[in-house]
Amino acid sequence: MTETISEKIAGILNAAPLSFDPEDDIHEETHKCGNQFTDKVSESKKNVSNLLDKFLELQSLLLKKYPETKKLLSGNTQLKEVESDEEIPSDTDDEQINEVDENSDEETPRKKLKISDYKAEIEKRHKLYKDYRNSVIHKWNDKTRIAPSKSGGLVHSVTNQIEHILSDKEKLIKRTQLKRTDYEIVGQQKSNEDNETSQDQSVEVHDSNIFDDTDFYHHLLRELIECKSADVTDPVQLGRQWMQLQNLRSKMKRKIDTKATKGRKIRYVVHSKLVNFMAPIEDNNNSAVTDLCGSLFGKNQVF
C-alpha cells in the first residue's frame, strides 16, 4: 500500500517544473500570477515539512515500542547481540517496559527542523539503526538457511552481499534516472531529438532530475501476486490472479501518445450504426396543412 502511494507521488513530482531561467516563458507566466504562485510554493513546502515530521515521529514510536531498539534514539548505541533463541519475557520485564514507555511519552517535544536539516537527521537515524538491522538479517538468514554450501568455496555473509550490490552507487542511481513512462515536464520544451527518441521506444532517456523505480515496483507487485497464488487450489481464484498478472503486463507495455494532449488531437467516439431506422414519409399536401391550421383557431369549420 505504501509503495503504491509513493509510486503515484513520484510520478507527479517527475512532471513538476525544474529550476528555470528568468528569461523563460514559464517565468513570465508565474510572474503574472503574482502572490498566488509564491503562496502555493510556501504551502507545498509546509506540507512536505509536516509530512517528514510525521514520518520521523512514527519511526520514533515504532523504535520505542520494541525493547531492543528503544535506546537507539536516546544516544545509547551499545546494543546487545540478537540471540538465536527467542526468550519468553517475564512479568517484571513487562512492567519495566511499560514504565519506560510511560516515561518516553512525557518527553519534551522535538524542535521543528528546517527543510535542509532533514537529510542529516535521517542519515543519523540510519547509522544508529544499521547495526541492529544487520544483526537481525544475520539471525533470520541463519535460521532460514536450508543447508550449507557443498561447493567448498568461500561463502559470503548476507550483509556482505548486500554491500557488494550497493557498492556501485553510480550505476544504481543511473537506473532510477531512466525515463520509463511518457510524461511531459512542466515548462520544458521538447527539442527535435526528444521527439525522435519519444517515437523510438528502444532509445533510453536518462534525466538526472527524475526518480523512476517503476521496474522495482512492478517486480514487487508481481512477487506479491505470485506469492498469493502459490497456495491457492481454487480454479476460480487462480483465474482471477492470472487476470491480474495479465493486466499488470499490459500496463507495463502501455504506450501513451503524448502528442494528443492540450487539444492537439480531436478525441471522438464512433457511435454504432442505427438498426431498422427509416425517416418519416410525409403524405400531407399544402392544402391539408392550411385547413388544419384554420380549423384550430375557429376560422374554418370542418364538418
pLDDT of 278 strictly over 50:
yes
pLDDT of 79: 45
Indicate whether 82 pLDDT > 50. no
Q: Does 70 or 277 have the greater pLDDT score?
A: 70
Q: What Cα–Cα distance (Å) separates residue 129 from each residue in 124, 159, 190, 295? A: 9, 14, 44, 97
CA distance 105 to 258: 52
Question: Cell 512536505 identifies what position?
Answer: 48
The answer to whether the beta carbons of residues 210 and 14 sit under 8 Å apart is: yes
Which uninterrupted H or E stretch holds 141? Answer: helix 118-144
**pLDDT on residue 98:** 54
Span 65-88, mean pLDDT?
61
Contacts of 68 by beta carbon, 8 Å cutoff, 6+ apart: 79, 80, 82, 132
pLDDT at 259 over 70: yes
Give the pLDDT band (50/70/90) at residue 58: very high
Residues 49, 260: Cα–Cα separation, whole Å: 36
Asked if the model's pLDDT at residue 246 lies above 80, the reply is no
pLDDT of 210 reads 83
Terminal Cα distance for the chain, rounded: 82
Residues 17-39 have a mean pLDDT of 64
- Listed ranges 84-93, 200-209, 272-281; the one with the highest mean pLDDT: 272-281
Q: Please, which residues bridge with residue 126 across strands?
A: none
Residue 147 has pLDDT above 50, yes or no: yes
Q: Residue 223's pLDDT band (boundaries 50, 70, 90)? A: confident
Indicate the average pLDDT of the chain: 72
Mean pLDDT of 10-17: 76
pLDDT at 86: 44
pLDDT tens figures, 161-208: 888 888 888 888 888 888 877 777 776 666 555 555 555 555 677 788
Q: Which triple of cell numbers denotes residue 215?
A: 521496474
Pairwise pLDDT comparison (3 vs 276), residue with the higher score: 276
pLDDT of residue 194: 56
In the Cβ-directed half-sphere of 296, how many Cα atoms lie within 13 Å? Answer: 6
What are the residues whose beta carbons fall under 8 Å from the beta carbon of 266, sequence distance 6 or more? none
Rounded to an integer, what distance in angstroms lies between the CA atom of residue 228 and that of residue 238? 10
Given a cut of 70, whether residue 39 has pLDDT beyond it is yes
Q: Return the exposure string of 162-184: e unless at least 16 CB atoms fall within 10 Å of the residue's CB, then b.
A: eeeeeeeeeeeeeeeeebeeeee
Q: The pTM is what? A: 0.52
CB 213, CB 10: distance < 8 Å? yes
Upper half-sphere CA count for residue 234 (Cβ side, 13 Å)? 5
Residue 84 banded pLDDT, cuts 50, 70, 90? very low
Domain boundaries, the chain: 213-258
pLDDT at residue 236 in the model: 73
Instruction: Calculate what percentage of the chain has a pLDDT beyond 90.
Output: 3
List Cα–Cα distances, 232 to 30, 204, 242, 243, 244, in angstroms: 56, 39, 12, 15, 15
Would you state the cell numbers that stand for residue 50, as one nine-digit string?
Answer: 509536516
Query: For the stretch 53-74, what's the b/e string if a residue is b when 16 or more beta carbons lie within 10 angstroms of its beta carbon?
Result: eeebeeebeebbeeeebbbbbe
